[in-house]
Amino acid sequence: MMTNASTPLFLVLVTSLATTGACSSESTSQDRYQANEVTPKKRQDDAKAQGGTPNTAGTDGAQDAPQRVETDNDRYWIDNVVKSCTRRDFKGFFESFVRSAAVRERYTADPIAVSSKGVVTQSPRNRYFDFPIAMTDYRYISKNSENSEPNEFLWLTFDQSQSNKYRVDWVRVRYAGIGNDAEGEAEITGTYGLPGYLIFEPTDKCWRLVEDSVYEGPYVGSLSN
């Protein structure tokens, strides 16, 4: 502020204090805003701390991408598959693989070869949603079993190569009688739909799914134990 000899000294002091107070108030307000600002990274950290799935909008790194929120069921089967891999127990590994999507994410090749009626495509692992097999109790069934006929299950054949690669052939089958399960105690009365197979290659510590194929019959696996 410009002053001259006629300006009272107390007026200069009052004006100077008022200006300083305004600047200090503006600075304090800005600092408070910055301290309370919720950045995308902070939203993610808060969501993780609360057990939720983080929202990655506004972030720019693959490392910030949301991960699957594992359930107690997933954790059980992940623990089970590690034990099966340690024992080199493929059927134990395969059951865990069928029962848990989290296990499938960990033990599927990227990309995976997906074949339908002779047409082969390479699918990124995070785009592979059509694993064909599910389980109810201890029975293998089609993933789309809600559209299947009564007493229809999947028949599976496990073939191991000398290099420890596994091919799992599957086909829909019907059993005679009501209430019979897929334990080989009832007679198979016929097959249904297109058959398929899965290829699992060995890794250093376990196996991984590398191919999922559906083909036009006849079924090439065995229908007997």
- Residue 122 identity: Q
Residue 185 has what pLDDT? 63
Percent of the residues in the chain that have a pLDDT greater than 90, as a whole number = 44
Please state the domain extents for the chain: 108-214
DSSP 30-83: HHHHHHH---HHHHHHHHHHTT-PPP-TT---GGGSPPP---HHHHHHHHHHHH
Q: How far is CA 214 from the centre of its chain?
A: 23
What's the mean pLDDT in 195-212? Answer: 97
> Would you say residue 117 has pLDDT above 70?
yes
Q: What is the pLDDT of residues 24-60, one digit of tens each?
A: 444 444 444 343 444 444 444 544 454 443 333 332 3
Indicate the DSSP class of residue 149: P
Question: pLDDT tier at 17 (50, 70, 90 boundaries)?
Answer: very low
For the segment(s) 108-214, the CATH number from 3.30.43, 1.10.287, 2.40.50, 3.10.450 is 3.10.450
Per the CB < 8 A criterion, the answer to whether 189 and 174 are in contact is yes
Q: What is the pLDDT of residues 141-185, one digit of tens each?
A: 887 654 555 556 899 999 999 999 999 999 998 887 655 555 546
Q: Is the pTM of this model over 0.85?
A: no
Give the separation between CA 24 and CA 7, rounded to whole angstroms: 26
Residue 55 has what pLDDT? 35
Give the separation between CA 92 and CA 26, rounded to whole angstroms: 66
Per the CB < 8 A criterion, the answer to whether 93 and 84 are in contact is yes
Give the separation between CA 195 and CA 223, rounded to whole angstroms: 12
